[in-house]
Amino acid sequence: MLTDAEKDAIRDHYRAISDRLPGFRPRASQRRMLAEIANALARSQEKVGDEWPEREGESITVIEGPTGVGKSLAYLLAGGVMARTRGKKLVVTSATVALQEQLVNRDLPFVVENSGLPLTFALAKGRGRYLCPYRLYGLTAQHAQQSLLQPDPMMALWDHKPEQAELDALTAMADAFHQRKWNGDRDSWDSVVEDGLWARVTNDRHGCLKTACPNRVECPFYLARDTLENVDVVVANHDLMLADVSMGGGVILPAPEESFYCIDEAHHLAKKAINQFAAEHSLGQALGWLDKVAAVVVHAEAHTGKAELASSAIDSAAACVETLTEWQWLLGSEESLAASSDNLEPSWLIEDGILPERLKTPAANMAISARALSKQLDDMGNALSEARKDKSGDADLDKTATELGFLIGRAEQLMAVWDLFDTETPENAPPIAKWITRRSEGKGDYLFSASPVSAAASLAATLWRRAAGAILTSATLRSLGDFELLLSQTGLKWLPKVSCLALDSPFNFDEQGELYLPPLLASPKDPGGHTREIIEWLPKLIDLSQAVGTLVLFSSRKQMQDVAAGLPAELREQLLVQGDIPKRTLLDTHHQRLQNQQASVIFGLDSFSEGLDLPGESCVHVIIAKLPFAMPDDPVGKTLSRWIEKRGGNPFIELTVPEASIKLVQAVGRLIRTERDYGRVTILDNRLTRQSYGKKLLASLPPFKRI
């Protein structure tokens, strides 16, 4: 239950902002969001003895907060107060870097400065964003450079002879880091670092020497992680949060049981989670690193005396090689993977995720061998860690530990793929998508990929039933007027006490905006005819005599380019087409034209339908070329659609239309960004008026005046 002290604290800090800022106007929806968050987090249950209670979602709330509500202020203030009073961390995650930077650089400083709430905060990043000083110094030491120019086959950090330019770049980084002119964060380096080069100087949890590392005291990752332990608010991205809980929680971020999560841009969470629980590996690359296992574990045995463990790991690696070679032979005759002139990388989607009988035994054998190898290498890594306690500073031991860590990571990846390939889900459960792609780069090379089609069960088990509390929010969470799609895709539907709230918009849509549905004859199902009609309509819809902005959104790059090419020259001159120039340059040019009293027209794709903020006259007309239906042409989508059909459902109605509803609302939301904005939305898709689902899509839009 929310205490009087907590109520007073939230009220007083909120009032302080109002008193401090004369232009600040408290909003009813924002106050309601504050109360909803505080009450939900107050229902969090504490440990009873050594046992955590069975959580049923009582401290989880889903809040749709339209643009203009002031969501970040509400969840930072209410969440911050509750985290401090309840002894928890507030972990705020988002899908985009832009929002993370906004939270750290603008929103949190604003709350601290104006509310009097003394929150401390830090931005959390994955280990891969940070430099590993041990690796960098090793690669740039004079003796190391000489050996690298004639690569040691045992050295896992390089897979090619390094070029002088690469060594020069590494030396520059080493000098800057050593002189404390750079903090080791990749994002703060003053030039672009190629992914391949960065991989040489970063590390993962397997290759890290941890407390035995001679550079532990200056390690950017550990310094950043130490900071997280001493702050009230941790800002991260969805991927990092999901990676942390998939590893058991509390590895990078605070443990779920000690965290109040605020998941902003929550409409991205389900797909982010599916990607997190997916796995893939290349057959050719696997054969390459498996060939190094014997030499590395022999070195490890010399330091640990674990002869039997080393022998077992060598045997398991050999078994993996043997089974992968069998797979290579079996796939050579698979018709679905036959390359052709127009498809150099054919892919075979395994129907319903059920392997043919002839492949079930090889898959099971591969899963068993990969599982054994992963455990044996991990055990050897633990033995090396023990050995390092007594041999601090042993360069050969540290080198062996780094190489073994590399192999442990690869073995985990191999195991993850084959555990999924070897799994057949129960009849009524969503299947696992499995597909194999023939690689054009190497003869006889294949990419094995597997992914759950739903992350609901994993999220429920690893996050929702463990978290002390959670707030899921975004401007658009409902689909076709309800939260059912979100609850289903995230696993929250299995927690009966989750609360949902749709806040009212502060905007007066029927006075600020209009909705126009031109009487097009051609349906988007006739791409050529539809494109020709768009070319005819746009000159009628766009007024070039006014110094205002127009945003035209397309679902197809080809249609966008065809329309741009077919427009009259006068209109083409005012076009700014996504992809022709960098986004930042495009937006700067757009605003400069308006300042010069010129009209400006932006052509954009789906990515411009979300997160693009063009207030005032920078966007007074949003034109949507067609409904944003995403057809399931990827392996995961195809597998899920087939599963729905086999259960008697209709994937178009159950998935495609609801997901299109969310995207359409987001696209329409580019028009009204403030209480002073005005304009029109035009949708050039006659299916809205001709198809039965059109009424549902229209009903989910803001209540603009229809013209």
Query: DSSP labels for 263-321?
Result: ESSGGGHHHHHHHHT-EEEEHHHHHHHHHHHHHHHHHHHHHH--HHHHHHHHHHHHHHH
- Asked if residues 75 and 233 have their Cβ atoms less than 8 Å apart, the reply is no
Are residues 251 and 213 part of one domain?
Answer: no
Please name every residue paired with 621 in a beta bridge, in sequence order, or none if there are none.
550, 680
Higher pLDDT: 413 or 215? It is: 413
Residues 6 or more apart whose Cβ sits within 8 Å of residue 70:
27, 30
**Nearest Cα to Cα of residue 463 among 492, 498, 501, 488:** 492
Radius of gyration of the chain (CA): 28
- Asked if residues 663 and 606 have their Cβ atoms less than 8 Å apart, the reply is yes
The residue written with tokens 């590392």 in the block is: 213
Are residues 610 and 545 part of one domain?
Answer: yes
State which H helix or E strand residue 682 sits in: strand 679-683
Are residues 677 and 567 part of one domain?
Answer: yes
Higher pLDDT: 429 or 318? It is: 318
Domains in the chain, number: 4
**Nearest Cα to Cα of residue 704 among 682, 688, 689:** 682
Residue 151 has pLDDT above 70, yes or no: no
Residues 6 or more apart whose Cβ sits within 8 Å of residue 8:
none
Q: Specify if 174 maps to a domain.
A: yes
Q: Which of 502, 517, 538 is the last residue of a domain?
A: 502
Q: Specify if 258 maps to a domain.
A: yes
pLDDT category of residue 392 using cuts at 50, 70 and 90: low
State which H helix or E strand residue 77 sits in: helix 71-86
The residue written with tokens 């296992």 in the block is: 293
Tell me the pTM: 0.89
Pinpoint the alpha helices (H) of 465-568: 484-490, 509-512, 527-541, 557-566
Strands 347-349 and 432-438: antiparallel
Are residues 495 and 538 part of one domain?
Answer: no
Which amino acid does the sequence have at 580?
A: D
Model pLDDT, residue 554: 97
Structure tokens at 466: 């463990």
- Asked if residues 422 and 362 have their Cβ atoms less than 8 Å apart, the reply is no
Model pLDDT, residue 158: 55
d(CA 61, CA 31): 15
Q: What's the CATH number where 679 sits?
A: 3.40.50.300
- Asked if residues 657 and 480 have their Cβ atoms less than 8 Å apart, the reply is yes
Indicate the range of 82-96, 201-215, 342-356 predicted with least confidence. 201-215
Which amino acid does the sequence have at 623?
A: I
pLDDT category of residue 147 using cuts at 50, 70 and 90: very low
The residue written with tokens 């040019």 in the block is: 589
Model pLDDT, residue 153: 33
d(CA 660, CA 700): 11
Q: What residues make up the domain containing 480?
A: 4-45+55-120+231-265+475-502
Are residues 518 and 491 part of one domain?
Answer: no
Are residues 522 and 493 part of one domain?
Answer: no
Indicate the range of 1-10, 139-148, 523-532 predicted with least confidence. 139-148
Rounded to the nearest angstrom, the gap between the alpha carbon of residue 660 and the centroid of all alpha carbons in its chain is 20
Q: What's the CATH number where 320 sits?
A: 1.20.120
DSSP label at 505?
P
Q: Specify if 470 maps to a domain.
A: no
Higher pLDDT: 671 or 215? It is: 671
Four-residue CA torsion sign, 517, 522, 524, 528: negative
Residues 109-135: pLDDT tens digits?
A: 999 999 999 999 999 998 889 999 988
Model pLDDT, residue 666: 95
pLDDT category of residue 144 using cuts at 50, 70 and 90: very low
Model pLDDT, residue 160: 62
Structure tokens at 281: 């590996």
Are residues 653 and 523 part of one domain?
Answer: yes
Model pLDDT, residue 157: 52
Taking each continuous run of H as one helix and of E as one strand, the counts in the chain are 28, 18
Q: What's the CATH number where 104 sits?
A: 3.40.50
What percentage of the chain carries pLDDT values higher than 90? 76
Mean pLDDT over the full length of the chain: 91
Give the up-direction half-sphere exposure of residue 687: CA atoms within 13 A in the CB hemisphere.
Answer: 17
Please name every residue paired with 615 in a beta bridge, in sequence order, or none if there are none.
none
Are residues 659 and 513 part of one domain?
Answer: yes
d(CA 607, CA 268): 13
Are residues 624 and 526 part of one domain?
Answer: yes
Q: Specify if 18 maps to a domain.
A: yes
d(CA 260, CA 471): 8
Q: Is 320 annotated as a binding-site member?
A: no
Q: Specify if 65 maps to a domain.
A: yes
Are residues 283 and 185 part of one domain?
Answer: no
- Asked if residues 266 and 96 have their Cβ atoms less than 8 Å apart, the reply is no
Are residues 682 and 555 part of one domain?
Answer: yes
Structure tokens at 21: 């800022």
Q: N- to C-terminal Cα distance for the chain? A: 49
Model pLDDT, residue 148: 38
Give the up-direction half-sphere exposure of residue 546: CA atoms within 13 A in the CB hemisphere.
Answer: 12
Residues 422-479: pLDDT tens digits?
A: 998 988 889 999 999 998 876 779 999 999 999 999 999 999 999 999 999 999 999 9
Q: Is 262 annotated as a binding-site member?
A: no
Q: Is 219 annotated as a binding-site member?
A: yes
Q: Specify if 272 maps to a domain.
A: no
Q: How many residues are recorded in the chain?
A: 707
Structure tokens at 10: 């939230």
Model pLDDT, residue 191: 87
Strands of the 446-452 sheet, one edge to the other = 279-282, 446-452, 432-438, 347-349
Structure tokens at 479: 């689909």
Q: Specify if 463 maps to a domain.
A: no
Three state DSSP letters for 85-116 = HHCCEEEEEECCHHHHHHHHHHHHHHHHHHHC
Q: What are phi and psi of 433, to 5 degrees?
A: -75, 130
Alpha carbon distances (Å) from 226 to 59, 251, 264: 28, 12, 25
Q: Specify if 462 maps to a domain.
A: no
pLDDT average, residue stretch 634-657: 94
Q: Is 213 annotated as a binding-site member?
A: yes
Are residues 206 and 237 part of one domain?
Answer: no
Residue 207 has pLDDT above 70, yes or no: yes
Residues 482-531: pLDDT tens digits?
A: 999 999 999 999 999 999 999 999 999 999 999 999 999 999 999 999 99
pLDDT category of residue 245 using cuts at 50, 70 and 90: very high
d(CA 281, CA 417): 7
Alpha carbon distances (Å) from 635 to 279, 416, 449, 451: 13, 18, 10, 9
